Amino acid sequence: MPAVALRAFVAFSLSIAAFCAHAQHSVFIEELTSPELAARVRSGATIALIPIGGTEQSGPHIVLGKHNVRVKVLCARIAATLGNALVAPVIAYVPEGNVSPPSSHMRFAGTITLPDKTFESVLEYAARSLRASGFRDVFFVGDHGGYQRNEQAVAERLNREWANTRIRAHALTEYYRVTETAYRDALRSRGHSDAEIGTHAGLADTSLALAVDAQLVRAAELASPHANAQHGVQGDPRRATAELGAMGVDAIVRESVAAIRRATSVR
């Protein structure tokens, strides 16, 4: 084999080995083999995070999969901070309104919805599956405000059934609540009004997206006159920055980790 080809082959082989070593220590369940997962649970990783996103419109400037990307990234940070948690695959289909006649985000192209009952069944059986794999605490982590009550309802039903066990389901409502409290307060302290901060695809939402992955945002559309309620936006995203979003990301991770530790310290 020529020297150049040999060097290329060795470099490729080393990169594959490095990737495999990284994957074995990943916090993402889907990147592990079944025996690797079982070993991690036996060694103490008994907390499972179920990230819940959504596929919905966020105006002309944020991609449809914003929630899915964001919740996966933040759950990875939460799991890494905890040290004994793993992250399930993202649930990307959630209640987003009626199909016919279309309501809420379903009035815009690309949004995908589920009925509440179907969504709750998905959550329930994801939790049951993780319990069967040996996890003791299963947390629903929702990046969207519309289904927080569904998470709570499923957790309550499962905990009634599991009352005589040491297994628990949890709705991590603190994760989303931060975006309505501490994060908004931080933005106000920087001189941003509630009207600018918004509730959907405004300054707060767009800044979080920029902090997680700048490619989620179409920068050229931020100053567009189409960034208004008629086009699916509640708020004003024009002054959004990754720096502002980082304040929200840090607060979400910090409060989520604290809530999980409180919940799992009581048996």
Residue 95 within any structural domain of the chain? yes
Residue 20 within any structural domain of the chain? no
**Radius of gyration of the CA atoms of the chain, in A:** 20
**CATH number of the domain enclosing 116:** 3.40.50.10310
Find out whether 124 and 109 touch, Cβ atoms under 8 Å. no
In whole angstroms, what is the distance from residue 26 CA to residue 11 CA?
22
In sequence order, which residues have a C-beta less than 8 Å from that of residue 111 and are 6 or more positions away?
Answer: 55, 56, 57, 64, 96, 97, 105
Tally of CA atoms within 13 A in the half-sphere of 23 that contains its CB: 12
Checking if the pLDDT of 234 tops 80, the result is yes
Q: What band does 15 get if pLDDT is binned at 50, 70 and 90?
A: very low
Residue 4 within any structural domain of the chain? no
Residue 15 within any structural domain of the chain? no
Checking if the pLDDT of 252 tops 50, the result is yes
Residue 49 within any structural domain of the chain? yes
Residue that has been written with the tokens 């908004």 in this structure: 184
Domain range for 161 is 25-264
Checking if the pLDDT of 12 tops 60, the result is no
Residue 246 within any structural domain of the chain? yes
161-197 residue pLDDT tens: 999 999 999 999 999 999 999 999 999 999 999 999 9
The average pLDDT across 219-240 equals 84
Residue 150 within any structural domain of the chain? yes
In whole angstroms, what is the distance from residue 77 CA to residue 259 CA?
14
Domain count, the chain: 1
The average pLDDT across 67-74 equals 98
Average pLDDT in the chain: 91
- Amino acid of residue 18: A
Residue 13 within any structural domain of the chain? no
User: Which of 20-29, 115-124, 214-223 is predicted with the least confidence, judged by mean pLDDT?
Assistant: 20-29
> Bigger pLDDT: 18 or 29?
29
Query: For residue 40, what pLDDT is reported?
Result: 98
